[in-house]
Structure 1
């Protein structure tokens, strides 16, 4: 194998026979073609060094002849040379053969070289006739990747220090960029797949900022474990098509935002998706402006990569899940919950500027405030409007009684439901409840209910918007493990009664007259009888708006402080014209910032140790993504994306 290149400054020498010129235009277009100009002839007008091109990056086949053209460069041991023209942003050659080039030039060179590798990965999917087009380019992949690796490892793209105060997002398009990173994706019908998708759609709808939704990509074997109805995807493009169609059917407009994927692996023990590798690297530096981390603790438990607050100007975490409540139900739950509680505090403090908790049911986290920033699918609000219209005409809106809908696992309220019905079996004589759900505990839940002779009718799980559910009048939800139950909000939006526990997770719903809460089992019986004997009140316009995603987006902008940040960005628009950058203050970091930086550094060191990762429950091999992810997502190998020093 060819020895890895070493970097040395250029020395003046005789001209060479050829000079390979890559213009900035070709780099921006991702072209791998090079214009070849013999040096013994006059350079043509389109490659005029002084008049036409403001910046030129050069690759030469030899280290000779550059100073004759007013150039500086870097020569590699293999004979290739990287250089820039000595103009406004000259190339600087440091001691010990370290090259620091203008970041924008280097980024484009690296992207052009790496794009060759991506093209090569596509050869397998092309026919022989099509692949010959790429093969004829005579790409030297190994050399190109090494050159790209040299550029990446020289420090040219370093954007922050221990506490960071660096230039980050390029705002020349005058729009801010928002990246939403979540831990699940459709067709898995879970809150962290659905709610971030709606958030992306409604943030993009305002057209005030560009939005990217970053979701996990699972290999085929994991898809079969996670996605319902044996639904799998052979490519990210196929899954993106499914996601967009699902969304547009529900919101009624075409959402203009980007969907990207990061490598993930499914943990059977935790029934959740764990990121593989550094998730932050899948948002480019030019788009690294505002990050929204859906489940920041989950995303960062094993995060081994760039600190989010170093890469992004503002990082907001949204806490979806009451992990401590679930963990307490496991073996040695109290000890595990104690440890997880402190780890959650650690990572949210180290990686977020602001944390939003959907309700007080979650643990109290650093930098956090409580606010419901979720809305309901517009379809449910339309159902509620239809019900109100039918009642105005004197028609019967509800023809069925009570139901419960949720994933069939004990932690989702099934234990509490059975306990309540057993204790007051005689008081609720004649009361029948239809239960919709699928899950790992389905067989056990149904067996227990049958053994206790409870009047429960178990049915397969279905979408809450299904027409078969519109006729029910009362939604029963005894769960106390939720942070904010989406099904409760949906039932209220459809104009139904909701009977739920007097619990912090239901605080937002108490202002709705159709929400009937109970504190004791006796209260539960009374509330059920009250709901079954009466008709729910139609929602007012204000109540419908409070349940909508428009209102949820407005609350999110306020409590995450994004409205203030975007307003400040508008005030600084004139200054941004001069340098095209959004910068952070270069003031000395405070003691709190120094502590947060130390916590992030310690976390980075610990998560880099595979033994420690495995001992705390990480999936083996998730520090970096694997070969299958490289193939599915057309990624460069981790050793190229994250080069190791000291070849």
Structure 2
């Protein structure tokens, strides 16, 4: 239920909504032991098809339309130390070569840190990376955080440059990447906008206050999400904030520690399991009424338009023709840059092909290839070949 899972789902649905594009959403499949560590409310799936049914039902309840995009699963494992799902093996193989055209890598650094297989830029005609998360801020909170952040900054820039043609950053709060574009290509869950509009209309039609509650916070309950800073601020200003009540909602590995720290405050800070923003529990907070124009700007229809514009997908074919017609005029510097990039990509390919170097880089042990359990669950061949 994290933003990096939900937002790509909405993007796929709205890109495929008009039926003009063939869209495939590729998401991680976790074995049962990892599902229990990651999925909220004891939710588990016995097969990829069962999980796909759950995803489609969840999506249709929020969008009120059936989208024709396909769903495929790649093998993944949950990294306890990184608290993230990481891909296993060459996940680009999930898309057959004859179908490979344009790839959108949601969190490209995350997907390419330990990638060993065909180079994304070779397999796909256009690769667009969308930067969701500032991982530098995450690692700064860990032991030797400043040093880790320094190294990670250059590793991220390296893998994103060799694997992506275009880079879109959701905001300026993310890590800087050369030649990147800042644009919020996300929208708001349509159910949220609908709830706010309905509650505001109820208030005016019945002449009573529809919004009676204060503020709440929803986020994965791990310290890296800022819980430490929040609780420290509350602790420092308890006198000024006397009477303030706060509700925190989230699932995560640090839930017990967050609850323990919150209980030490004199303020009323309640810690609850995670819930969806559309839960009726939250319908009584006070929103600022939106104009129709503002509501549209927040919609996924508008977000999809922004994505198509900044990624220049509608110009891809024309640009490709122009490139082909002007190849003979390519400059020496451009060829040199491509040669350096190819060399850099080959070095990454070689380094990530050995278990010892993979572990040195921080990969999950045994993640070079899917294990037999995942191969069976996903119907993968017993062996695979890689080429750059």
Q: Same fold (TM over 0.5)?
A: yes
1:416 to 229, 234, 237: 229
CA contact (8 A) 2:203 2:210 kept: yes
1:434-488 residue CA offsets vs partner (Å, 9 max, x unmatched): 2222322222222222223222122222111100111123xxxxxxxxxxxxxxx
| Structure 1 spans left out of the alignment, 5+ residues | 1-188, 474-495, 497-535, 573-581
Partner of 2:100: 288
Distance in 2, matches of 1:396 and 1:583, equals 64
Partner of 1:560: 311
1:59-107 residue CA offsets vs partner (Å, 9 max, x unmatched): xxxxxxxxxxxxxxxxxxxxxxxxxxxxxxxxxxxxxxxxxxxxxxxxx
Partner of 1:517: none
- Specify the SS of the correspondent of 1:383: helix
Partner of 2:365: 620
Given the superposition, is the C-alpha separation of residues 303 and 643 from structure 1 closer, same or farther in structure 2, using an over 3 Å criterion? closer
Asked if 1:602 is matched to 2:353, the reply is no
Partner of 1:439: 252
Distance in 1, matches of 2:233 and 2:189, equals 30
TM-score by length of 2: 0.93
Deviation at 1:250, TM superposition (A): 0.7
Which structure carries more helix by proportion?
A: 2
| Structure 2 spans left out of the alignment, 5+ residues | none
Partner of 1:379: 191
Partner of 1:35: none
Distance in 2, matches of 1:403 and 1:360, equals 25
- Specify the SS of the correspondent of 2:343: helix
Partner of 2:154: 342
Partner of 1:470: 283
Q: Which has the larger radius of gyration?
A: 1
Deviation at 1:568, TM superposition (A): 5.9
Deviation at 1:413, TM superposition (A): 2.4
Aligned residue pair count = 382
Given the superposition, is the C-alpha separation of residues 312 and 400 from structure 1 closer, same or farther in structure 2, using an over 3 Å criterion? same
Of 549-558 and 585-594, deviating more is 585-594
1:592-640 residue CA offsets vs partner (Å, 9 max, x unmatched): 22222121111111111211111121111111122112211111122xx
Asked if 1:449 is matched to 2:262, the reply is yes
1:551 to 302, 315, 327: 302
Deviation at 1:424, TM superposition (A): 2.2
Deviation at 1:377, TM superposition (A): 0.9
Partner of 2:213: 400
TM-score by length of 1: 0.57
Structure 1 stretches (4+) deviating beyond 4 angstroms? Answer: 566-569, 582-589
Partner of 1:430: 243
CA contact (8 A) 1:353 1:367 kept: no
Distance in 2, matches of 1:191 and 1:557, equals 20
Distance in 2, matches of 1:211 and 1:413, equals 35
Asked if 1:631 is matched to 2:379, the reply is no
Distance in 2, matches of 1:443 and 1:231, equals 20
2:89 to 265, 277, 283: 277
2:176 to 364, 375, 382: 364
Distance in 1, matches of 2:366 and 2:298, equals 42
- Specify the SS of the correspondent of 1:360: coil
- Specify the SS of the correspondent of 2:347: helix
Partner of 1:223: 35
Distance in 2, matches of 1:240 and 1:449, equals 37
Partner of 1:237: 49
1:180-233 residue CA offsets vs partner (Å, 9 max, x unmatched): xxxxxxxxx111211100000000012221000111111122112211222222
Distance in 1, matches of 2:354 and 2:174, equals 30
CA contact (8 A) 1:313 1:584 kept: no
- Specify the SS of the correspondent of 2:22: strand
Partner of 1:642: 385
Partner of 1:175: none
Which has the bigger relative contact order, CA under 8 A and spacing at least 6? Answer: 2
Superposition CA RMSD, Å: 2.1
Given the superposition, is the C-alpha separation of residues 205 and 643 from structure 1 closer, same or farther in structure 2, using an over 3 Å criterion? closer
Partner of 1:268: 80
- Specify the SS of the correspondent of 1:260: strand
